[in-house]
Amino acid sequence: MALSEIIDSSLYNEVLVRPFKEGRASELSIISGYGSSAMAFHHLQNLSEIDTKVRINLILGMAMLDGISLNDHTAFINLKQKEYYNQFECSYVCSGPAVHSKVYIWSKNDQPIQAFIGSANYSQRAFLGSGREAMSECSALSAMDYFEVI
């Protein structure tokens, strides 16, 4: 197995924008322990400025332990049903073991292209804040297999 470099700066651009902006991918599947509707809105808004043919599938893995705020839940529903209809899907892990993983998988035409794994939850604090987070590229096929199991 080849080792990948750690990405610890410009995470938002490197992990969440570049593969789409370069035209290599059109769909992002995310497993994150925690996430926010503000992040999803901001991210979808940015990607839609590049091209409206983008899709995000988000799984939040810690919901059964820590819950989801009513505000976030309502906003996720609004994103899915109104603002980004057919571009956004969000689900919560509510049975089985909680999932604290953070995995981001870019695909094109249902084929995994590039994936990242690391410490950054799908939140503005993690991707746009001043804290220290790290991500690394991993096998896109293996990451998609993991996403499908979750």
pLDDT in tens, the chain (150 residues): 556 889 988 999 999 999 999 999 999 999 999 999 999 999 999 999 999 899 999 999 999 999 999 999 999 999 999 999 999 999 999 999 999 999 999 999 999 999 999 999 999 999 998 889 999 999 999 999 999 999
Structure-block tokens of residue 109:
């035409």
The kind and range of the H/E element at 26 are: none
Region of 46 on the Ramachandran plot (φ > 0 left; ψ -120 to 50 alpha; else beta)? alpha
CA distance 107 to 138: 14
Q: What is the pTM of this model?
A: 0.95
Structure-block tokens of residue 94:
């509510």
- Strand segments, DSSP code E, in 1-150 are 6-7, 27-32, 55-60, 88-92, 102-108, 111-118, 135-138
10 Å Cβ neighbour count for 93?
18
Answer for the pair 43, 57: CB distance below 8 angstroms, yes or no.
no
